[in-house]
Structure 1
Amino acid sequence: MMPFTDEDLMPPVSSIIENKVAPMLAKDGGAIKLLDIKNGKVYVQLQGACVGCSASGSTLKFIVEKELKAAIHPELEIINVPQGMENNLQEL
């Protein structure tokens, strides 16, 4: 069970994404945007060169999610939000 509220998770998740993940993706022309956190699920959207990249799924699972789980809590889950689905997170 997640011992943190979604509000508790927002600052550390945001910090890791902005300071560790985003600069790494930017080197290859990509970007990542934190959209929301609901019930321990971190909703992000890959942007730039990451959109349509065949490695984007691996990037999310083995870089972003791994970093968040190691730094914050092992039950965190990352979900990529496709373009146009930003207002329909409950459907993902």
Structure 2
Amino acid sequence: MIPFTDEELISPVKNTIEKVRPSLALDGGDIQFLAVKNGTVYVQLQGACVGCGSAGNTLKYGVERQLRMDIHPELTVINVPHGMENQIDSM
């Protein structure tokens, strides 16, 4: 169980995303923070990351790994496809 509220996680999650953003930019990609719900971080990969075959690895071994090291080992990350931003509550 994650000992933080979703609201308490927002700032540290945003800081960690800013930390990994330069790595994504090296390959022409980007990432946008969307929300935290029940310990799950919702982001949207952008730029060259959209449709890239390595996007899943980027999320799992890049973004999620860094969030788990920086904040809490039970955090998970979900990439929200473009056009689905308003449906986070149903994911």
TM range (shorter): over 0.9
Q: Which runs of 5+ in 1 are unaligned?
A: none
**Which residue of the partner structure matches residue 9 of structure 1?**
9
Q: Which runs of 5+ in 2 are unaligned?
A: none
TM-score normalised by structure 2 residue count: 0.97
**d(CA) in 1 for partners of 2:81, 2:16:** 21
Give every structure 1 segment of 4 or more consecutive aligned residues whose post-TM-superposition deviation is greater than 4 Å: none
TM-score (norm 1): 0.96
Q: Give the letter aligned to residue 40 of structure 2.
A: K
Counterpart-to-counterpart distance in 2, 1:91 and 1:38: 11
The one-letter amino acid paired with 2:35 is D
Q: Give the length in aligned residue pairs.
A: 91
Rounded Cα–Cα distance in structure 2 between residues aligned with 1:21 and 1:53? 17
Partner of 1:67: 66
Shift of 1:90: 2.1
Task: Report the AA paired with residue 21 of structure 2.
Answer: A
Q: Percent identity?
A: 62
Q: Aligned-residue CA RMSD in angstroms?
A: 0.7
